[in-house]
Amino acid sequence: MSSQTPAQTPELLWQPSQARIASTRLTGFMDHLKRQYGVEAPDYPALWDWSRASQQNVETFWSALWDYCGVVAETRGQRATQDFDKMPGAAFFPDAKLNFAENLLQQQGRGDAIVFWGEDQVTTRLSHDALYHRVSKVAQGLREQGVGPGDRVAAYLPNMPETMIVMLATASLGAIFSSCSPDFGPQGVLDRFGQIEPKVLFAVDAYHYNGKVRASAPNVAEVVKQLPSLQKTLLIHYAGDGDPSGIDGAERMADWEDRFPGGPIDFVQMPFNSPLYILFSSGTTGKPKCIVHGAGGTLLQHLKEHQLQTDVRPGDRPFYFTTCGWMMWNWLVSALASRATVLLYDGSPFYPDWRILFRMAEQEGMTQFGTSAKFIDALGNQGAMPGDEFDLSRVRTLMSTGSPLLAEGFDVVYNNIKQDICLSSIAGGTDIVGCFVAGNPIGPVYRGEIQARCLAMDVDIYDEQGNSVRDQKGELVCRKPFPSMPVKFWNDPDGERFFNAYFATYTDTWHHGDFAAIDSATGGVVIYGRSDATLNPGGVRIGTAEIYRQVEKLPEVAEGIVIGQDVGDDQRVVLFVRLNEGHQLTDDLVTRIKQQIKSGASPRHVPAKVLEVPDIPRTRSGKIVELAVRDVVHGNAVKNKEALANPEALAHFEGREELRN
């Protein structure tokens, strides 16, 4: 994501060469469209415009993608859509039958399928043949346990090869996979898995983080006691002693797996929209929503985003820094379907220092580097120069998401990391297990802007009256159906919660909840923050990222979090800042902060109060939580602190004397 008012054409930072454009999967797809369907699109804007212009074009696009990416299926059927005019209610390929895992396990041989780094402590490699063999054994074990279509299998695991193995084995049976990372406490896990009632749980004994071993087994034991649906618990020996004796009915996964011979996998062919994953919203305003995603929609969306938007090619080695509690894990592992090698990393991205991920990029031949805006900000703040220290010649694309990537973050990428690189800031989310806006490997990168709206996604910006607007902030919407719309919410039998989450604001239109703008000159997109966190002083809506962009330019400020505090019938802007070490919030610094915001944004953005805090609360995927801070300031309870990585930070915002007048 990025933040910059699209008032004038921003600086051009990168343009692909003609040779590079010709070599991309996207150019190959455009040639495929021309040969097979007679569709001529000379560039990305023309292709995007065609891909979402009508129901027939949408159907042609997804059918062409199916063929171009070589989707394996028992049948595709004659129909590409059903009830296309209904949102919700539309469905894609309603007669198709396929298996998600079969599509990810097509590649054979002794080449790397997975390369795993657990900080600097553990390195593991699995070939395509070895991965297939282990998936087969685990699938046989799950089938013996009675797991079949519709059953849930849960993973309380780090981002390690076993997590992928369990997911693929579960999907091969037509069952449903769901995961949490081991840094979740027992209540956070129960808030999630307790709603979906899994039959089998896979967990880890301990894991590495920031150079230390963190025990998991005690938390696993507590979770198991309170999940009556469990029929089997399997403990993976990773960083601890591997002893399952303290966990009711648990067995070591290695011992259990060894009982099964492996061999050819019997992939259960399932309807296109059969449930594959249950993902969870961040849940800071109550128990997380259980978002059910379908097998076919997830597969097609990821194939498109990997191959066309990110240029993942056979033999590539893509990477995204993520945990198993964030949808970017689900996004990353689908790269197997593009015959790529998946690079996994678990632990701190700063242990022993910021170099660890770039060392991995160099040594493992990384081709796509995925990270967060905050990681890029941190590199800039530390003056890190990875491009000078590491051979990043194979890295063609750098992706960023999780929070808005400020224009200054673009400078860090091109000045400190690499000049000849496609910087693909992306935005979408758990709700669609993919992206609404993302990269364009054959197009330019402009400073502070996301490159493009995703193909076959009819993304627009609406004002409060539902009018389409340009060069003006508004609500990010999608006006036509797409395959990775959720199948449903779990435990929402009449679909009311699902409808209210996305379709209640605008008729027959997906309302995503991002405050954004489209630049009419470049076609680029700017995200200003979440709609429910936008500020509204004097009735003027202000995106939070606009303020962060300005305040974080000051060398004294590490980061900020801004909220609107209700005062009488109006709202005032309150900015909290965490300062870099050795600095204090003096009157002079407050004055400079306000002046920077006034000159860089507008007088409307200037906070009424600027206060210091030692820490800022964030979710486990690294997103700061303005709504939780707003609740604390207004004396309201934060309903699910378990969703936060550092809930203790909320105490710094509670009962502040400075906010009582």
DSSP per residue, 390-424: S--TT--EEEEESS-EEHHHHHHIIIII-SS-EEE
pLDDT at 1 over 50: no
The mean pLDDT of 395-417, rounded to a whole number, is 94
Q: Is 283 left (phi over 0), alpha (psi -120 to 50) or beta?
A: left
* Cβ-contact 251, 241 below 8 angstroms: no
The mean pLDDT of 570-583, rounded to a whole number, is 93
* Cβ-contact 220, 156 below 8 angstroms: yes
Q: Find the DSSP H helices in 38-160.
A: 44-51, 55-68, 100-104, 128-144
Going from the C-alpha of 457 to that of each of 281, 293, 509, the distances in angstroms are: 22, 17, 12
pLDDT in tens, 197-214: 999 999 999 999 999 999
Task: Tell which residue, 455, 411, 399, has the closest CA to residue 14.
Answer: 411
* Cβ-contact 164, 139 below 8 angstroms: no
Task: Tell which residue, 299, 238, 249, has the closest CA to residue 273.
Answer: 299
Tell me how far apart the alpha carbons of residues 278 and 263 are, in angstroms, rounded to a whole number. Answer: 28
Structure tokens at 451: 């490159």
The residue whose two tokens read 């678990």 is: 346
* pLDDT given for residue 390 in this prediction: 98
Q: Which amino acid is at 129?
A: D
Q: How much is the mean pLDDT over the chain?
A: 94
What are residue 558's phi and psi, to 5 degrees?
Answer: -80, -50
The pLDDT-based confidence of 324 (bands split at 50, 70, 90) is: very high
Task: Tell which residue, 409, 329, 321, 322, has the closest CA to residue 366.
Answer: 321
* Cβ-contact 518, 6 below 8 angstroms: yes
Going from the C-alpha of 560 to that of each of 351, 609, 623, 657, the distances in angstroms are: 24, 13, 12, 19
The mean pLDDT of 535-548, rounded to a whole number, is 81
pLDDT at 620 over 90: no
Structure tokens at 482: 């797409």
The pLDDT-based confidence of 5 (bands split at 50, 70, 90) is: very low
The pLDDT-based confidence of 2 (bands split at 50, 70, 90) is: very low
Q: Which amino acid is at 311?
A: D
* Cβ-contact 145, 231 below 8 angstroms: yes
The mean pLDDT of 612-640, rounded to a whole number, is 89
Tell me how far apart the alpha carbons of residues 322 and 305 are, in angstroms, rounded to a whole number. Answer: 17
Written in H, E and C, the secondary structure of 228-292 is: CCCCEEEEECCCCCCCCCCCCCEEEHHHHHCCCCCCCCCCCCEECCCEEEEEECCCCCCCCCEEE
The DSSP code for 205 is S
What are residue 54's phi and psi, to 5 degrees?
Answer: -155, 165
* pLDDT given for residue 4 in this prediction: 42
The mean pLDDT of 591-609, rounded to a whole number, is 88
Residue 611 forms beta bridges with which residues? 576
The mean pLDDT of 428-434, rounded to a whole number, is 96
Going from the C-alpha of 528 to that of each of 5, 532, 545, the distances in angstroms are: 9, 11, 5
pLDDT at 426 over 80: yes
Structure tokens at 115: 């390369």
Q: What angle do CA 447, 451, 456 make, to 5 degrees?
A: 165
* pLDDT given for residue 128 in this prediction: 98
Tell me how far apart the alpha carbons of residues 438 and 460 are, in angstroms, rounded to a whole number. Answer: 14
How many CB atoms neighbour CB 656 within 10 A? 15
**pTM for the whole thing?**
0.90
* Cβ-contact 329, 179 below 8 angstroms: yes
pLDDT at 284 over 60: no
The mean pLDDT of 525-552, rounded to a whole number, is 84
* Cβ-contact 653, 576 below 8 angstroms: yes
Task: Tell which residue, 614, 601, 485, 502, has the closest CA to residue 553.
Answer: 601
The residue whose two tokens read 């491009």 is: 387
Tell me how far apart the alpha carbons of residues 577 and 596 are, in angstroms, rounded to a whole number. Answer: 14
Asked which of 273-287, 566-580, 605-619 is least confident by mean pLDDT, the reply is 273-287
* Cβ-contact 358, 343 below 8 angstroms: no
Tell me how far apart the alpha carbons of residues 112 and 127 are, in angstroms, rounded to a whole number. Answer: 4
* Cβ-contact 379, 406 below 8 angstroms: no
The pLDDT-based confidence of 535 (bands split at 50, 70, 90) is: confident
Q: Find the DSSP H helices in 16-99.
A: 18-23, 25-37, 44-51, 55-68
Structure tokens at 579: 């300062």
The pLDDT-based confidence of 29 (bands split at 50, 70, 90) is: very high
How many CB atoms neighbour CB 259 within 10 A? 10
Tell me how far apart the alpha carbons of residues 408 and 549 are, in angstroms, rounded to a whole number. Answer: 8
- pLDDT higher for 541 or 133? 133
pLDDT in tens, 160-177: 999 999 999 999 999 999
* pLDDT given for residue 285 in this prediction: 58
Task: Tell which residue, 450, 425, 408, has the closest CA to residue 550.
Answer: 408
Tell me how far apart the alpha carbons of residues 458 and 125 are, in angstroms, rounded to a whole number. Answer: 40
Tell me how far apart the alpha carbons of residues 544 and 530 are, in angstroms, rounded to a whole number. Answer: 8
* pLDDT given for residue 286 in this prediction: 67
Structure tokens at 410: 């673009």
The residue whose two tokens read 């990537």 is: 405
* pLDDT given for residue 7 in this prediction: 55
* pLDDT given for residue 6 in this prediction: 46
Tell me how far apart the alpha carbons of residues 635 and 260 are, in angstroms, rounded to a whole number. Answer: 56
pLDDT in tens, 441-477: 999 999 999 999 999 999 999 998 999 999 999 999 9
pLDDT above 70 covers what percent of the chain?
98
* pLDDT given for residue 337 in this prediction: 98
* pLDDT given for residue 563 in this prediction: 93
Helix (H) or strand (E) run with residue 40 in it: none
* Cβ-contact 451, 470 below 8 angstroms: no
Helix (H) or strand (E) run with residue 498 in it: helix 496-502
pLDDT at 96 over 90: yes
Q: Which amino acid is at 360?
A: M
Contacts of residue 323, Cβ cutoff 8 Å, sequence gap at least 6: 158, 159, 181, 183, 329, 346, 620, 621
Residue 462 forms beta bridges with which residues? 468, 475
pLDDT in tens, 312-322: 999 999 999 99
pLDDT at 407 over 60: yes
Tell me how far apart the alpha carbons of residues 125 and 111 are, in angstroms, rounded to a whole number. Answer: 10
Handedness of CA 468, 472, 475, 481 (dihedral sign): positive
pLDDT at 111 over 70: yes
* Cβ-contact 528, 545 below 8 angstroms: yes
